[in-house]
Amino acid sequence: MTQTTSADAQKETPKHASAPVIAQHAATLKALPFSDTRDFDDAARGFLGTIENAKVTSPQGRVVWSLEPYGFLSAEEAPATVDPSLWRQSRLNMHHGLFEVVSGVYQVRGLDIANMTLIEGDSGVIVVDTLTSIEGARAAMELYFQHRGKRPVVAVIFTHTHTDHWGGARGVLDDETLASGRVPILAPNFFMEHAVSENIIAGPAMLRRAQYQFGPLLAKGVHGQVDCGLGKSMAVGSVALLRPTDLIIATGDKRTIDGLEFEFQMAPNSEAPAEMHFFIPRYKLLNLAENCTHNFHNLLPFRGADVRDALAWSKYLGEALQMWGGKADAMCGQHHWPVWGHERIDTMIRQQRDLYKFAHDQTIRLMNHGLTAAEIAETIKLPASLDGAWHGRGYYGHIRHNVKAIYQKYLGWYDANPVNLDPLPPVESGRKYVEYMGGAEAILDRARKDFAKGEFRFVAQAVSHLVFADPDNQAARAMLADTFEQLGYASESSTWRNAYLFGAQELRLGMPKVPARAAMPRETLAALSTGQLWDVLGVRLNGPKAEGKRIVLNWQFTDTNENFVLNLENSALTYVADAQAADADATFTLARSVLDEVIAKLTTFPDAVGSGAIKVSGNPMRLGELMMLMDEFPRMFEIVEPKRTAVT
């Protein structure tokens, strides 16, 4: 279904919050400690200056980041269409600019979903995490220099592997500094392997699903996107990866950087597959990266990822408490605002430690009693001491979906009930459900009555069957959209709200029209190992089209001294390193950098052959035959309705 016209869109204005949602919000206002305003004091503490509306633009004038669309959050009282707890978090995430954490340590917050931390050494400044975009990082550095004076960057630290913490590095280090090699870039062990691989293989599906998680295509406003929990949204500028020059290997490792001693703690397979914490004795500053933030974090993002280890996460926080408890005067993370004072810091770490441990242990306890993931989510309740801690609220990773992630980590998708072993897919089951329930009108009649009673969860389930059975039934689409909308208004979790509201939008207006996916950047390609490149190619192979074909290609890379055999048979693409096949159909000799340029669409394979950059022996047409078997993945595909195009 395509995007409707603006005239049609005007007919689909957002609805008001229903009485059951308003009643739920009233209960939330009574249940949570809204009189505790210390977070607002902390979020504003140390403010030095900012950029108007936190607006960042590219050299071409394109807006990369701006908080101007969120001006509606100036109202203190939450509207009926937003959960009051989420409204509170959304307002806290509006603080932006340069802030002093302690004398000598500064943070740029609100110019991205993540923070940049700037630590002054004896002669220059150490930059911790470089935001998502090059444009945002440059703006952050200019803001820092404006208030603290021009200082050389003497080191860059990446705390972990997610793009919003390293994507802007080229905005911190200029070409001359980078070429000189004099500025160390520190990161946790296995940083490169995970930074470039975590979202590559399943990248197309993850990017589409991320639209539901972050809501970038929703209108900002009280009926739309208000926050992402960790921050406002994702920046949309230029991204480039820089390879670390120094890896932190083990907990207890130390480095002296520009006169400052750093003590490191490793925290792999927590919030990221490679992540680390550090403490600076001179400043009595503790940085726990993204593992101790002002919300319950995600154990499995809606976009998709490997399930994160809640037990390990808890243990790392416990270890940090043992290493540095009572020592830190300030604790800052790479999202949200700092915390000051030994007691408040240690209390927050203990509560965060116990939040992940409770979720883990109680999920496993109930699992071992035979409860399924859905039953555990319905049963589990946080203890009052954690439920009432603002930093334990589920703005990003709600307890109701985090326990399902823990269940999945241990037992997988199957709940052991044979009825769920091989169910019909959504379209086929939808048609049978509609038939069993007496047809479309009978379903809609019951759904309207349950909607009025606020039974939105089941209404969504029932009417979704009708939409999948008959996606052109406009009454069904409208009812499901209205139901998703109320579920979104009721959600404390920003990611739940975004998912529900974006689902409602697509049911009403169809999938948004977006530009075609750009080629993978050359810098990212260069960071991939050649084996990873072949793995990416393998998942693009259309198995049915490759039926009965056999193609063998030798590859010789002159700059990396690598040799590979790429082999297609049995509808699977495999490779062997450090080998060449005597029966290969063709052999290609080239620099690996040339292959990167071809994939990045900076040149073509024939042009590279014509220029002599690629030498070929054998039958080069066999490579063309192989590439004809590759799928091009769409940027958009249906989620809340059936696929309109069959996939084979």
Task: Please tell me the predicted confidence (pLDDT) of residue 518.
Answer: 79
Contact 326, 424 (CB under 8 A): no
Contact 605, 616 (CB under 8 A): no
CA distances from 255 to 155, 184, 246, 261, 518 (A): 11, 11, 10, 6, 39
Angstrom distance (rounded) from CA 401 to CA 377:
7
Task: Please tell me the predicted confidence (pLDDT) of residue 4.
Answer: 40
Task: Please tell me the predicted confidence (pLDDT) of residue 12.
Answer: 67
299's tokens:
């154990």
pLDDT digits (tens, 9 = 90+) for 263-307: 999 999 999 999 999 999 999 999 999 999 999 999 999 999 999
3-class DSSP assignment, residue 640: coil
pLDDT digits (tens, 9 = 90+) for 518-550: 788 887 888 889 999 999 999 999 999 999 999
Q: What is the pTM of this model?
A: 0.95
CA Rg, the chain, in Å? 26
Sign of CA pseudo-dihedral 46, 51, 57, 63? positive
pLDDT digits (tens, 9 = 90+) for 125-168: 999 999 999 999 999 999 999 999 999 999 999 999 999 999 99
CA distances from 156 to 27, 141, 180, 257 (A): 46, 13, 14, 10
Q: Which helix (H) or strand (E) holds 203?
A: helix 203-214
Stretches in the chain below the pLDDT threshold 50: 1-10
Contact 295, 158 (CB under 8 A): no
Task: Please tell me the predicted confidence (pLDDT) of residue 522.
Answer: 82
What domains are there in the chain, each with its CATH number? 1-31+423-514 (1.25.40.880), 32-235+244-368 (3.60.15.30), 522-627 (3.30.1050.10)
Angle between helices 342-368 and 399-411 (to 10 degrees): 50
Ranges of beta strands (E only) in 146-209 are 153-157, 185-188
Q: In the β-sheet with 330-332, what is the strand arrangement from edge to edge? A: 254-257, 260-266, 276-280, 285-287, 330-332, 339-340
